[in-house]
Structure 1
Amino acid sequence: MTSRTLANRHDYLPAAGNDLFLPFYDLLSRALGSTAVHHTLLAQAGLESGHTVLEIGCGTGNLTVLAQHAVPGATVIGTDPDPRALARAERKAPGIRFERAYAQDLPHPDGSVDRVLSAFMLHHLDADTKAAVAAEAFRVLRPGGRLHIADVGGPMTAADGRAARRSLRSPYLRGNLGDALPAVLRTAGFETEQVLSHAHRTLGRVTYYRATHPGNARR
């Protein structure tokens, strides 16, 4: 994914914001409550044996690994532009396929994927890149396939707590607030709905979306 850089000469945001922090990424992720979010996202995704599942912006592979363990008969692939994060993912799960790829330029044919997953990645992207990522997810999904997203934002207000008030001041979250993200997905061609949204102690508010490629699903 292309994004701002934090003291790194990259054209993507490293998994931990800075290469130096990568060894602590999984600890921080668990402390922020990402594991529960990943389980909720997978419950909504309806993965099945035989599905091809792609996670974009997989970082160190936590959601990718969880998805593969949940449905061993699926083909689950994690993608990320950060080679250091992918190396850690491969060490954790050597039997799972990880690819270095930008979410707006995926090395997969048109209509070849049943599910695309995204967790806490899209809010880092600028508007143009976010639109490109949505279009690319639409391209690789089969008709009837779905993009499932969990991210910070949605109907977040100051009433959601201190973390929300802090997040609302961030210019990087504006494109994820209110109906902004569903609007991007609809422009890409998806039929989009908000599935769930809840206040979160450390993140402000987490919102889940289901974006469906119109057409008849294979299954």
Structure 2
Amino acid sequence: MAASTPVRILDQRTPEDRDRPFLPGAGKRWLLPFYDAFTRVAGVRALHERAVGLAGIEPGQTVVDVGCGTGNLSFAVLAAQPSARVTGLDPDRDALRRAARKARRRNVPLTLVQGYADRIPAEDAALDHVVSSLALHHVDDDGRTAFARDALRALRPGGRVTIVDFGGPASTAEQAGHPTHRHGHSALQALRHLTRLMRSRVAHNPVVARNHGNGIVTLLTDAGFGDAREVAHTDHRFGRVTFVQATRP
């Protein structure tokens, strides 16, 4: 029998991190079982595939996926470059367990680290790529600044960061949403609730507002990256999604 592909979850939190709050990818912990179904319905996979194409990851390169959640961007990287060495980073242990189960089913190697965006699991100048999708808007001001600086530290000269996140104003239709009805946690009700959460987050969250205009570009430039720029954008059902890249000088 062939040996199973290695998948592991590491905990890099400090004692001070144990009670550190974070916003789950689904917004609410009880929504996690429905998160992957929601992302499929919402067309998030296309965003991941586009991000991987823009990143230009080459065979054997080292990649850290910041805010990996249940691992979907990591899997998109591995689908495009099976020999890439991918590490997913997220504070949500339950989401990481789901990512690990999915990796084992797919028989792909994946290292998962429980930790925060401001401490990327890599030595100085060790990474070829840092990627992140729809995670930066979960992070507060101090965490965003620390993430950008730590990404610069962890990337080798010429290494690249590629960020996909909401950026720019949502349309009126996207902000409108639907009335809230809470009658238990059925799958359909959960998906509707996730849709409302995402619309509200894009339209009203002050952290998302920091992405508007050149917010992410400015964040990376201020951290010391060269040629930070928006390389693409798309009008998603929940709002404008921007693809931003920068290179470590």
Shorter-chain TM-score: what band?
A: 0.7 to 0.9
Residue 17 of structure 1: aligned partner: 27
**Aligned-residue identity in percent:** 42
Cross-structure match for 1:169: 204
Counterpart residue identity of residue 120, structure 1? L
Gap runs ≥5 in structure 1: 1-8, 215-219
Aligned to 2:95: 85
Highest RCO, 1 vs 2 (Cα 8 Å, sep ≥ 6): 2
Structure 1 runs (4+) deviating above 4 angstroms are: none
Cα deviation, 1:114-139, whole Å, max 9, x if unaligned, reads: 00100001112221111111111111
Taking the aligned partners of 2:82 and 2:204, their CA distance within structure 1 comes to: 42
> In 2, Cα distance between the equivalents of 1:51 and 1:106?
16
User: By how many angstroms is 1:161 displaced?
Assistant: 4.6
From 130, 133, 145, the counterpart of 1:116:
130
> Computing the radius of gyration over CA atoms, which structure comes out larger, 1 or 2?
2
2:230 aligns with 194
| Residue among 193, 213, 218 paired with 2:248 | 213
Name the aligned partner's letter for residue 149 of structure 1: I
CA RMSD of aligned residues (A): 1.6
Does the CA-based 8 Å contact 2:25-2:135 persist in structure 1?
no
Consecutive unaligned residues in structure 2, runs of 5 or more: 1-18, 177-199
- Return the alpha-carbon distance in structure 2 between the equivalents of residues 27 and 55 of structure 1: 20
Partner Cα distance (1:134, 1:123) in 2: 13
Aligned to 1:176, the other structure's residue is in SS state: coil
Residues 1:135 and 2:149 aligned together: yes
Query: Deviation of residue 198 (structure 1)?
Result: 2.0
Q: TM-score, normalised by structure 2?
A: 0.77
TM-score, normalization: structure 1?
0.87
Counterpart contact for 1:121–1:151, Cα < 8 Å = yes
The 8 Å contact of residues 164 and 205 in structure 1, kept in 2 or not, is answered as no
Give 1:181 deviation, angstroms: 1.5
Distance in 2 (alpha carbons) for counterparts of 1:44 and 1:77: 19
Alignment match of 1:147 (pick from 156, 161, 174): 161
Q: How many residues align?
A: 202
Q: Report which stretch shifted further, 160-169 or 117-126.
A: 160-169
Report the Cα offset of residue 164 of structure 1.
Answer: 5.5
Cα distance between partner residues in 2 of 1:19 and 1:157: 27
